[in-house]
Chains A and B, each alone.
Chain A
Amino acid sequence: MRSPSPALVRTLTLAVLASSVLAGCSRAPRNHWWQFWRRGAPSSVSDMDIAPGAPGSRPYGDLAGSSRLDGSLNPDVLAFDPGQLGEPEAIRSSPDGLLNLATVYFGYDSASVDSEGQRALRQNAEWIRANPGVSIRIEGHCDERGTEDYNYNLGMRRAQTVREHLTALGCDESRLHTWSWGELRPQDPGSGESAWARNRRVQFAVWTTE
């Protein structure tokens, strides 16, 4: 029955972002992911003042359905697409870059990870294991050719497959959360085989930080 007011969601979103900014502000400016946050960065110190101390990483409710409001970021705000910045693979050199995770691509109507994808996942797993404070949202995407409904399911299956791989590679399962955009957020808005191939993918977003 809980329905967070938009204002509250925004406040918490800003608060979590603010804590991230504070954590990183002593270092030299880098291409941190929040700088590409297209809706704007935290605007005032008062936003930071209300940052909850170390928000818990509890994005998933249990069967009873606890709210994921505490400490989690609004997924729509976090739908950061590095592809639109001309850096489709999202590989950044900074050791603490939060999006140092490679996108994994899939065959048509498939949720199998090929050898190239497995190589990317091994690399990603290493990073995830080395950054234990971060929870990851694994986002499955599809090309535009299927039905809307089936594609939500297929995108979820891709995300779930990637989650299984990462778990097998030693990542903490509880930090890996699955999500599906279906065909809603293509990396390449075009049609045709090359666009479709780029859109059948799993990308990674930061879900919560501790």
Chain B
Amino acid sequence: MLTRSLAPVVAALTLLLPGVAPSQEELTVYPSNIRPKVIAVPPFATADGTDALGEGTFSDVILRNLQISGWFTPLPDPRLASQQDRSDRARGQTDFAEWGRIGADYLVRGTYAMSSGQIVADVEVFDVSIGQRVIGRRYERIASQQRDMAHAIADEIVETVTSERGIAQSRILYIAQSGPRRELAVMDCDGGRQRNLTNDGATVMAACWGANNTEVYFTSTRDYNPDLCGIFLDGSELWYISRLPGLNLSPSWNPRTQRIALTISRDGNSEIYTMNRDGSSPLRLTHDRGIDSSPCWTPDGRQILFTSDRASGRPQLYVMDGDGRGQRRLTVRTGNNYNDGASISPDGRRVAFSSRLDGQFDIFVMDISGADSSWQRLTNHPGDDEDPFWTWDGQHLVFSSTRTGSKQIHIMNADGSNVHQLTTRGVNLSPVAEPLPPTR
């Protein structure tokens, strides 16, 4: 893995820049509190002038990932970057004063070349204000991993400048609908490399990341019942976890408890259960006549958020202990009488969910306490925004939205700003971001 080879460099950079070691506290500082840095990424020069990356040039992928990070924004006119880059190359030196004048805080410049199945990129990143190089290194990968390389470069830039690890190397599980079929799919965090993990013509209804970040648990009708299945992230193997008659829906895996929370409907209506990842030791946590659905483990494994319509006949968010005790309602706000799809932030403090207000669904966040005063509306757009899910860094939310006319997946900063559309073809829904950063 590239990340492994990056480790010494990142360590060295960290040593060079005192006080930039990431800490847990810093994770709660959202990028929106900080003015995004303007970054110029002129096209990388290639020896033969070819565009090696199929979907956009190398520099475009890097720039898009920097934008999605929320820490960077491009020059207002990207042509300025190309012009100034040509001018610099002609003169044989970098005119930092001119880069500063056109508005750049940072400049990324690189070359790449393909040879015998390898891609080699030399990348330099400059802090324009002080005219100094903050990154200068060579990346090498096999050609099929060009995108991984571009993501790694973006992440290294984010980390070098902000001291926070980026999410460009994260992946997103989702459900891709084509005609009546819904298949399990995965893509890069910027919407690149969309690929199906299943292709059996059945209906996939829900999915979550499982053990080791290599297993995926999902609900599929492939064997004539909405069963909970497992599959490896590379699409290999496929096994059954829970095949109780009726729904085996909405899995949520917690690595601390090593248990899957899910919805099971065999008892006459939907109830929350937990079970081991092989389906053993099922434990029923809810016992009431209403629908109990969409469980979501808190990161510490102590509590489970879920949806229930037991009180009002409308779905509301609830919380309970991991063994089912202490069930209490979280959402009681007047006007928001339909709340569903809770996702809890990695620090366990904030809950994102979809709530209906004025006839449309929008993404809201609130404290784990549910207090009215902590509610924050993140989206307010014609169309329905649903299924929010936090990225592992707690700085972003992926969600589905019908704002473009069809249901598609988007990503935004955790304060609702910086929205980027990730899918465009067909119908795509239920995004689930990778819960952990890549190991290194």
Q: A2–B240 contact, CB under 8 A?
A: yes
Complex partner residue of A150 from B182, B201, B243, B291, CB under 8 angstroms: B291
Collect the chain A residues with CB atoms within 8 Å of residue B361's CB: 147
Q: Does A160 contact B (CB under 8 A)?
A: yes
Given contacts A79-B180, A149-B293, A152-B205, contact A4 B341 (CB under 8 A): no
Collect the chain A residues with CB atoms within 8 Å of residue B371's CB: none
Q: Does A177 contact B (CB under 8 A)?
A: yes
Q: Does B245 contact A (CB under 8 A)?
A: yes
Collect the chain A residues with CB atoms within 8 Å of residue B243's CB: 61, 65
Q: A153–B247 contact, CB under 8 A?
A: yes
CB distance from A141 to the nearest CB of B (A): 13
A1-45: which residues lie under 8 A (CB-CB) from chain B? 1-4, 6
Q: A152–B249 contact, CB under 8 A?
A: yes
Q: B386–A75 contact, CB under 8 A?
A: no
Q: Does A116 contact B (CB under 8 A)?
A: no
Q: B180–A61 contact, CB under 8 A?
A: no
Q: A149–B294 contact, CB under 8 A?
A: yes
Q: B314–A68 contact, CB under 8 A?
A: no
Q: Does A156 contact B (CB under 8 A)?
A: yes
Q: Does B391 contact A (CB under 8 A)?
A: no
Please, what's the 1-or-0 string for A168-179, where 1 marks a CB less than 8 Å from any CB in chain B?
Answer: 000000000110
Q: Does A67 contact B (CB under 8 A)?
A: yes
Given contacts A149-B341, A160-B269, contact A76 B201 (CB under 8 A): yes
Collect the chain B residues with CB atoms within 8 Å of residue A85's CB: none
CB distance from B385 to the nearest CB of A (A): 11
Q: B225–A68 contact, CB under 8 A?
A: yes
Main secondary structure of the interface of B (DSSP, over half): loop
Q: B247–A152 contact, CB under 8 A?
A: yes
Q: Does B223 contact A (CB under 8 A)?
A: yes
Bound form: Cα–Cα A65–B147 in Å: 41
Q: B263–A153 contact, CB under 8 A?
A: yes
Complex partner residue of B224 from A59, A79, A146, CB under 8 angstroms: A59
Interface centre among A6, A73, A180 (most CB of B within 10 A): A180
Q: A74–B224 contact, CB under 8 A?
A: yes
How many residues on B have C-beta within 8 angstroms of the other chain's C-beta atoms?
50
Collect the chain B residues with CB atoms within 8 Å of residue A146's CB: 315, 338, 340
Given contacts A154-B291, A160-B265, contact A149 B249 (CB under 8 A): yes
CB distance from A1 to the nearest CB of B (A): 5
Please, what's the 1-or-0 string for A44-83, where 1 marks a CB less than 8 Å from any CB in chain B?
Answer: 0000000000000001110101011100111110010000
Report the nearest A residue to B231, measured CB to CB: A3
Interface centre among A79, A150, A156 (most CB of B within 10 A): A150
Name B residues whose Cβ lies closer than 8 Å to a Cβ of A: 180-182, 200-203, 205-206, 221-227, 238-240, 242-247, 249-250, 263, 265, 268-270, 279, 291, 293-294, 307, 309, 313-315, 338, 340-341, 354, 361, 386-387, 429-430
Q: A153-B265, A157-B269 are in contact. List 12 more A-B contacts (CB 8 A).
A: A61-B243, A72-B224, A73-B224, A76-B180, A79-B180, A146-B338, A147-B340, A147-B387, A148-B387, A149-B341, A150-B315, A156-B270
Name 27 A/B residue pairs within 8 A (Cβ), A-sorted.
Answer: A1-B239, A2-B223, A59-B225, A60-B245, A61-B245, A68-B223, A69-B223, A72-B224, A75-B221, A76-B201, A76-B203, A109-B314, A146-B338, A146-B340, A147-B387, A148-B386, A153-B249, A153-B270, A153-B293, A154-B291, A156-B246, A156-B270, A177-B245, A178-B245, A180-B226, A182-B205, A185-B180
